Structure 1
Amino acid sequence: MDPVALLLAFLRLPLYFLLEVFYFLFRCRPCKPISNQHVLITGAGQGIGAEFARQFAEMGNTVHCLDISKELVEGVVAGLREAGHSAHAYTCDLTKSEEVEKVHKEMTENGHVVTVLINNAGVVFGANIEDMSLTQIQHSLTVNLVSGLWTIKLFLPQMLAMDQGHVVNIASMLGLMPLQGQITDYCAGKAGAIHALAQLRNQHAHTNVHFTAVCPWFVRTKLIAGIEKETNPMEPEELVRAAIQGIREEKDVVMVPDSVRFIHFLLKISPLPIRDAFYKKKPDFTKFVGHKLLEKVQ
């Protein structure tokens, strides 16, 4: 590595930590309240999506829960209603644009104007890209990236018209620093979800509509079943609390837990041999439940 470039990289390190300390001491970001809003959450039938629905509902919002499983999403909504919250269930296959359009039309006709959109639905197959069919690759990218772009296309115009709203993509740290393992399609989809919001944030910087990409480490959900020991996952509650705080502070990117922000920064400034050494350890995906999901998409 060029010695000058290496010197500049290490000079950035104390500046980075100085700014971090300044931020945590003075909390110079806004911290807007989120209540009395209509919040749409995709993939809300379980895991992270269901936890988003619970926490947003407890904050006094009306939550609109969307999931491909009718049984799961109606179960989540029933529980919220029993607790006295305002919640609605929608069954929708996000890979079918006409079904998403139907949900949008139904909500509009009922006078529900979404001001917080949480694109949470995702899928991980854990397969080598060279072993996947084109249909399987397209399915992965459709769920992890394209479906979010489509919901944004449908719901963003209402937010812009009101000059109010927040769009959130639940991405992944793997969209910022891909690791070893059979997750090429997943990393590509999540990287796209992050950068799409970065572009939209720049495009609409003159408005009061905000965009936040949430990039967690692995989270203990059915999505990573079989590789829990490999990934040391956090609980959904921890992720959602941090994500909502990041939304309230109108951050562009939320990395959870805080430790991964430091790792990400170090990898960005490290010489290539150090980065290569970091990626040498190869996680074992042989027991990953995503393989069974892959068999259903031919």
Structure 2
Amino acid sequence: MLEGTKISSQSQMTTVFNIAKDTVLFLVLSCYYILEALFWTLVPNAIRPMKNLRGDVVLVTGGAGGVGRQLAIKLARLGAKVVIWDISVEGLQKTCQDVTDEGFKIKSYVVDLADKSSVYFTAEKVKKEVGKVDVLINNAGTVFGDTLLELNDDAIETTYKVNILSHYWTVKSFLPDMIKSGKGHIVTVGSVAGLLGTYRCTDYSATKFATVGFHESLFTELRAHGHNAIHATLVCPYYINTGMFHGVTPRLMPMLEPDYVAETMIDSIRKNEVNCIMPGSVRYLLPLKCLLPAKMCWDLMHRVMKGPQSMMEFKGKPKVS
């Protein structure tokens, strides 16, 4: 028994030593990470190294309009081979026309992202007709803007299928080839509504919260398995002026313009950023919901920001963007 106790004591001492060693190493590396982040924050994009997307195949879901259309145009200007997916035939044609008018090539596919078989089938077509996808931007989203008791079951299911489940099907389709080639980038477009619950968005906010968890878990899996060359970026923008939230009147900040959002997203991709929140000031408000009393948070949202009141003016129709 005494011998067993001695072994146990040694094992405990080894465990404590390893924890202490790893903690010290973490603290030392943390100083470096903080200084590195401060340095790159202060360095202008014009003089910092940025990832070259020329020749890369970039697939954008929800490319028929709004931010998706702006992404397609701007990526084409950077020399990327742009592929867009959407359910809107007319919207796809308009985006393709805008890109070809500037002298660039683009490939479009009609895809119902709510249909898993459609996603898998079209993914195989892309790989055969265009090649390996280097950058996947899961940009498509839909919103109905009703309270929970007003939402019908089909609307809830559609929101989940388009806003989050489709991410699983697209990533499962294209990630294996990224791993084989040792190069890739997965962009998950969430929302500030995925960081703060929003009135009349029990379905939309929930799916956008899910995109945050999806991104963070995927990032963890890629790093844990040593796939450091496969980058993952989470994009969480504020309300965007695309028509999805037509009628909404934010009190403190104006809606973001699609051109600005697309430009910021591409910069974030080229810098291999893990998180991209727009506008940047929002990231400093988010910790308050955990630090402040719940009643204080509600009063801030209801009385100062007028969040619920602004969503009461929502007049948009169910729209995929």
Distance 1:124 1:111 in 2: 31
Give the Cα separation in 1 of the matches to 2:139 and 2:232. 14
The letter of the residue matching 1:186 is: Y
Q: 2:116 aligns with which of 70, 84, 97?
A: 97
1:209-230 deviation digits (Å, cap 9, x = unpaired): 1111100011100211121456
Q: CA deviation at 1:84?
A: 1.3
CA drift of 1:283 comes to: 2.2
Report deviation, 1:140: 0.9
The answer to whether the 8 Å contact 1:61/1:86 transfers is no
2:239 aligns with: 218
- 1:63 is paired with a residue of what secondary structure? strand
Q: Secondary structure at the match of 2:318?
A: helix
Cα distance change, pair 111–72 in 1 and its aligned pair in 2 (3 A): closer
Partner of 2:315: 289
Q: Distance in 2 between matches of 1:27 and 1:80?
A: 28
Aligned to 2:248: 227
Q: Work out whether 1:155 is the aligned partner of 2:180.
A: no
Q: Deviations over 1:90-113 (max 9, x none)?
A: 111111112212211211222421
Instruction: Specify every segment of 5 or more residues in structure 1 that has no aligned partner in the other structure, as ranges.
Output: 1-14
Task: Supply the AA of the counterpart residue of 1:247.
Answer: I
Distance 1:30 1:269, change over 3 A: farther
2:101 aligns to what? 82
Cα deviation for residue 70 of structure 1 reads: 0.7
**Which residue of structure 1 aligns with residue 191 of structure 2?**
172
**Which one of 12, 18, 42 corresponds to residue 25 of structure 1?**
42
* Structure 1 residue 249 corresponds to structure 2 residue 268: no
TM-score by length of 2: 0.80
Query: How much does 1:289 deviate?
Result: 3.4
Match among 286, 301, 304 for residue 279 of structure 1: 301
Residue 183 of structure 1 pairs with residue 201 of structure 2: yes
Paired with 2:213 and 2:262, the residues of 1 have a C-alpha distance of 21
TM, length-normalised to structure 1: 0.85
Check if 1:201 corresponds to 2:222: no
2:21 maps to none
- Give 1 or 2 for the bigger CA radius of gyration: 2
- Aligned partners of 1:147, 1:62: CA distance in 2, in Å? 22
Q: 1:228 to 1:37 in 2, by over 3 A?
A: farther
**Unaligned stretches of 5+ residues in structure 2:** 1-30
Deviation at 1:25, TM superposition (A): 2.8
Show the 5 A alignment for 1:127-146: 127-146=146-165
Q: Is the CA contact 1:30–1:250 (under 8 Å) kept in the aligned structure 2?
A: no
Q: Please give the secondary structure, in 2, of the residue aligned with 1:130.
A: coil
Is contact 1:198-1:252 (8 Å) kept? no
Q: How many residues align?
A: 276
Question: CA contact under 8 A between 2:249 and 2:313: conserved in structure 1?
Answer: no
Which residue identity is paired with 1:214? Answer: V
Deviations 1:170-202 (A, max 9, x none): 1101101223x1101111101111210111111
Q: Distance in 1 between matches of 2:296 and 2:49?
A: 37
Query: Partners in 1 of 2:147 and 2:158 — Cα distance?
Result: 15
Contact 2:76/2:99 (CA < 8 Å) preserved in 1?
Answer: yes
My pick for the range that moved more, 183-192 or 107-116, is 107-116
